[in-house]
Amino acid sequence: MTEQMNPANEIDRVRKNTTTEQLRKIEEQIERSVRFYATQSPETISERIRGLEEEWSMERWLETNASALAFTGVALGLTVNRKWFALPLIVSGFLFQHAIQGWCPPVPLLRRLGIRTRSEIDREKFALKILRGDFEEAADAAMRRDQQDGETDKVLAAVSA
- Asked whether 128 and 55 are in contact (CB, 8 A), the reply is no
Q: What angle do CA 128, 133, 134 make, to 5 degrees?
A: 85
pLDDT for position 110: 95
CA distance 57 to 120: 9
Question: Would you say residue 161 has pLDDT above 80?
Answer: no
pLDDT for position 2: 44
With a pLDDT cut of 70, the percent of the chain lying above it is: 78
- State residue 138 phi and psi, 5-degree precision: -65, -40
- Asked whether 122 and 55 are in contact (CB, 8 A), the reply is no
Question: Would you say residue 148 has pLDDT above 60?
Answer: yes
- The structure's pTM equals 0.76
CA distance 157 to 161: 6
